[in-house]
Chains A and B, each alone.
Chain A
Amino acid sequence: MRLLLVEDDTLLGDGVRAGLTQQGYAVDWVEHAEAAQLALETGEYDLLILDLGLPGMSGLEFLTRLREAGEDLPVLILTARDAVSDRITGLDSGADDYLTKPFELEELGARIRALLRRRSGRASPVIRHGDLVMDPAAHEVTLKGEKVDISPREFAILQMLLENRGKVMSRNRLEEGLYSWNAEVESNTVEVHIHHLRRKLGADLIRTIRGVGYIIDKPREG
């Protein structure tokens, strides 16, 4: 899962990026709205974390423009303003959720998970696929009730495939979900992670579409 963080405060931006990376997200961090615009045009993101008190164009203005342009990306607002009217303005401008500074990293993570869950069209906090159960909050995967030991990156790839069941995920798309801009990407990592996942969860869960990418089929009806 790839997130875009727009935060002008260097310490806070750095902290949020580090914290969310710990939780297995790929986080790109920009410091103002103009840079965020550029990032959205060039990359694909699953969620936008937006600080409202930005220098230059304010977060609210940026958000309004984004929504006017038809961008339906989930947006979580971070702000120091906590008056009810501020929250209402934020949500009415197109934000999906709202978090007031200072906040718990855990809560930020939980809200991000909730937003991503909604985006993928499910209400349940866990993803079930046959005998496989994935709990994004606990970062746990169980197969037939048995806990499977799985690394954060493997978890992220599995989640992306499960959230997009029935859709082919390109290698590039999966890589983008794993690495933020400044992370070194080894050329064969995705293959290595897929290999490990197959070893742990069974060879037939993830199918390879040669030259394109990977897919987990939609569960059979009934």
Chain B
Amino acid sequence: MRRSLRRRLAWAFAGFTLVVWLGGAATAYWDARIQMNALLDAHLAHLARAMLALSLHEVHEERLFASVDSHSKFGETVAPGEWDLGQPREDDLAFQIWIERDHLALRSHNAPPLPLSHRNRGFSDVLIDGEPWRVYSIQTEDGDIRVQLGERQSMRTAMVNRLTAHLLLPLAIALPLLFFLIRWATGQALSPFQRLAQALTRRGVDALRPLEPEQLPPEARPLAQAVNRLIQRVEEALANERRFTSDAAHELRTPLAALKTQAQVALRTEDPEQREQALRQVMKGVDRAAHLVDQLLTLARLDPERSQIDARYFDLYILAEDVLSELAPEALDKDIDLALEGRRGQFVHSNREGIAVLLHNLVQNAIRYTPPGGQVQVDVRTHEGATELVVSDSGPGIPEQERERVFQRFYRGLGTRAPGSGLGLSIVHRIATLNGLEVHLGESALGGLKVTVVLPAVRPPDQSG
């Protein structure tokens, strides 16, 4: 099963948000580092300059020299508490004050006795005890007094990290929240689809009202319109079915009425000859009703989908041979000359069973409507790239104005005494429609009806089967 649209949307939105937010955070991190470094560098330089100024003052009062005299050449150290430079952590800052070029006059307790940096001016990055430091050196113009002020790099990194963490923390909270909000919002947005589904589910089979696309958001309208088109087709099919069932039931009433009437005649009569005659009629009526039922079933079984599936290659001439041999006894009974013209090898690609029923109906019709002693001829031939199946007879034919109507169900021509169901040509028409064949009615050279069925011709299949 496909994942729900709602979840897909929620995940997609959350994922994109995360990516975009992370990208933003990374940019912010790099920017913060650069800005922070610039700021702290400026701060460091400022502080160093202030210390240089102070040192100058001290030197003028000769106090630093005193300390030089009284202490080792490593210089005096200042305890952490004695100097307050307003920094977060005093350990992170270290300084050295050099006088007379190479004499260390004063240093912070964490500063080594050796110079912090070899550079006498400006910034430098150095390693002290394996740790990276940022050092700013500044000295008087004569180089007499030099101040070196260092700042632990790790302190800077920690500050940037803290800042970045502050940026990321809201995301950690916002992302799940966002996820649920998106789910809710997409749920809301998709609710018309859900309502649509519920509305369709609640409907009965025969409630074929169309949906109202105007009440739906534009995205749902094509779906509703497609459903409407389907509903319309189903409605037409259903109406057709209903009409068919009704027609069929009504059509069965006449043979039933005939049976009943004949049976009543047989029951009432005193004359044995008339009774036998009536009972014979009953038998005939049963045969006819059975034929009608068969034809109805044939018509009902003509399933549009099966026609396409069952299409295969076959030789139309061989099929005609089979059908005609089945119907030959019926023709012989009426002394009708039944003939098949053409030759084998007329291949078509179609529904073989359907074509067999079609041909059977056409030939049977021809035999029934042709008076005794007449002719029925079937031609299988190729004409203008198509294979034609032509059934001609010497019967009464169908007047031109009636030719359209004979394909209607239960239509029976004027003055027809043949015991037809009125379904034969409807079946032919239906099979032709389902298989995309053309059927033409015309006048035959034998004097009666000519029915031409046109099938697209195909090359025979390469291998048998």
Question: Any chain B CB within 8 A of the CB of A191?
Answer: no
Chain B residues whose CB sits within 8 angstroms of the CB of A34 once the complex forms: 414
Nearest CB of chain A from residue B239's CB, rounded to whole Å:
16
Nearest CB of chain A from residue B276's CB, rounded to whole Å:
12
| A15/B254 contact (C-beta < 8 A), A22-B265, A55-B412, A55-B416 known | no
Question: Any chain A CB within 8 A of the CB of B269?
Answer: yes
Chain B residues whose CB sits within 8 angstroms of the CB of A138 once the complex forms: none
B416 with A11: CB separation less than 8 A: no
Chain B residues whose CB sits within 8 angstroms of the CB of A31 once the complex forms: 415, 417
| Complex: chain A residue closest to B277, CB-CB | A18
A contact residues, range:
20 to 34
Nearest CB of chain B from residue A40's CB, rounded to whole Å:
18
A11 with B285: CB separation less than 8 A: yes
B261 with A19: CB separation less than 8 A: yes
Nearest CB of chain B from residue A131's CB, rounded to whole Å:
31
B253 with A19: CB separation less than 8 A: no
A104 with B264: CB separation less than 8 A: yes
| A105/B254 contact (C-beta < 8 A), A10-B419, A15-B278 known | no
Question: Any chain A CB within 8 A of the CB of B256?
Answer: yes
Residues of B397-419 at the interface with A, using a CB-CB cut-off of 8 Å, are: 412-417, 419
A11 with B278: CB separation less than 8 A: no
B260 with A8: CB separation less than 8 A: no
Question: Any chain A CB within 8 A of the CB of B288?
Answer: yes
B contact residues, range:
20 to 34
| A101/B416 contact (C-beta < 8 A), A11-B258, A11-B284, A22-B269 known | no
Contact with A101, one of B253, B281, B413, B419 (Cβ below 8 angstroms): B253
Contact with B251, one of A8, A16, A78, A80 (Cβ below 8 angstroms): A80
| A19/B268 contact (C-beta < 8 A), A14-B281, A32-B414, A81-B250 known | yes
Chain B residues whose CB sits within 8 angstroms of the CB of A145 once the complex forms: none
| A15/B253 contact (C-beta < 8 A), A56-B414, A103-B260 known | no
Question: Any chain A CB within 8 A of the CB of B257?
Answer: yes
Chain A residues whose CB sits within 8 angstroms of the CB of B254 once the complex forms: 9, 12, 53, 80, 101
Q: How long is the Cα–Cα vector from A19 to B278 in the complex, in angstroms?
A: 10
Q: How long is the Cα–Cα vector from A12 to B282 in the complex, in angstroms?
A: 10
Question: Any chain B CB within 8 A of the CB of A102?
Answer: yes
Question: Any chain A CB within 8 A of the CB of B157?
Answer: no
Chain B residues whose CB sits within 8 angstroms of the CB of A15 once the complex forms: 258, 260-262, 264-265, 278, 281
Residues of A150-189 at the interface with B, using a CB-CB cut-off of 8 Å, are: none
Nearest CB of chain A from residue B355's CB, rounded to whole Å:
29
| Complex: chain B residue closest to A100, CB-CB | B253
Q: How long is the Cα–Cα vector from A19 to B415 in the complex, in angstroms?
A: 24
Q: How long is the Cα–Cα vector from A22 to B419 in the complex, in angstroms?
A: 26
Residues of A93-151 at the interface with B, using a CB-CB cut-off of 8 Å, are: 100-106
Question: Any chain A CB within 8 A of the CB of B425?
Answer: no
| A105/B416 contact (C-beta < 8 A), A9-B254, A9-B255, A12-B254 known | no
Q: How long is the Cα–Cα vector from A162 to B255 in the complex, in angstroms?
A: 38
| Complex: chain A residue closest to B284, CB-CB | A11
Contact with A18, one of B278, B284, B285, B288 (Cβ below 8 angstroms): B278
Contact with B262, one of A11, A53, A81, A106 (Cβ below 8 angstroms): A11
Q: How long is the Cα–Cα vector from A81 to B253 in the complex, in angstroms?
A: 9
A102 with B253: CB separation less than 8 A: yes
Contact with B261, one of A12, A80, A81 (Cβ below 8 angstroms): A12
Q: How long is the Cα–Cα vector from A101 to B343 in the complex, in angstroms?
A: 49
Residues of B125-169 at the interface with A, using a CB-CB cut-off of 8 Å, are: none
Chain B residues whose CB sits within 8 angstroms of the CB of A19 once the complex forms: 261, 264-265, 268
A10 with B417: CB separation less than 8 A: yes
B414 with A80: CB separation less than 8 A: no
Question: Any chain A CB within 8 A of the CB of B274?
Answer: yes
Chain B residues whose CB sits within 8 angstroms of the CB of A14 once the complex forms: 258, 262, 281
| Complex: chain A residue closest to B267, CB-CB | A105
Nearest CB of chain A from residue B173's CB, rounded to whole Å:
73
Chain A residues whose CB sits within 8 angstroms of the CB of B262 once the complex forms: 11, 14-15, 18
| Complex: chain A residue closest to B247, CB-CB | A80
| A105/B419 contact (C-beta < 8 A), A18-B278, A80-B251 known | no
Q: How long is the Cα–Cα vector from A32 to B412 in the complex, in angstroms?
A: 12
B415 with A55: CB separation less than 8 A: yes
Question: Any chain A CB within 8 A of the CB of B259?
Answer: yes
| Complex: chain B residue closest to A35, CB-CB | B415
Q: How long is the Cα–Cα vector from A46 to B111 in the complex, in angstroms?
A: 143
Chain A residues whose CB sits within 8 angstroms of the CB of B250 once the complex forms: 80-81
Q: How long is the Cα–Cα vector from A55 to B422 in the complex, in angstroms?
A: 10
Q: How long is the Cα–Cα vector from A101 to B285 in the complex, in angstroms?
A: 14
| Complex: chain B residue closest to A56, CB-CB | B414
| Complex: chain A residue closest to B249, CB-CB | A80
A16 with B261: CB separation less than 8 A: yes
> Which interface residue of B260, B261, B274, B413 has the most chain A CB atoms within 10 A?
B261
Chain B residues whose CB sits within 8 angstroms of the CB of A55 once the complex forms: 412-416
A102 with B284: CB separation less than 8 A: no
Nearest CB of chain A from residue B38's CB, rounded to whole Å:
96
| A11/B281 contact (C-beta < 8 A), A55-B416, A101-B254 known | yes
Show 29 residue pairs from A and B whose CB-CB distance is below 8 angstroms, ordered by the A residue: A8-B412, A9-B254, A10-B417, A10-B419, A11-B259, A11-B262, A11-B285, A14-B258, A15-B264, A15-B265, A18-B278, A19-B261, A22-B269, A31-B415, A55-B414, A55-B415, A55-B416, A80-B251, A80-B253, A80-B254, A101-B257, A102-B253, A102-B257, A102-B259, A103-B260, A103-B261, A104-B260, A105-B261, A105-B265
Closest 4 CB pairs of A and B: A15-B261, A101-B257, A56-B414, A102-B257
10 further A-B pairs in the complex, CB-CB below 8 A; given A11-B281, A55-B412: A8-B412, A9-B257, A11-B262, A14-B262, A15-B265, A22-B269, A31-B417, A101-B254, A103-B260, A106-B264
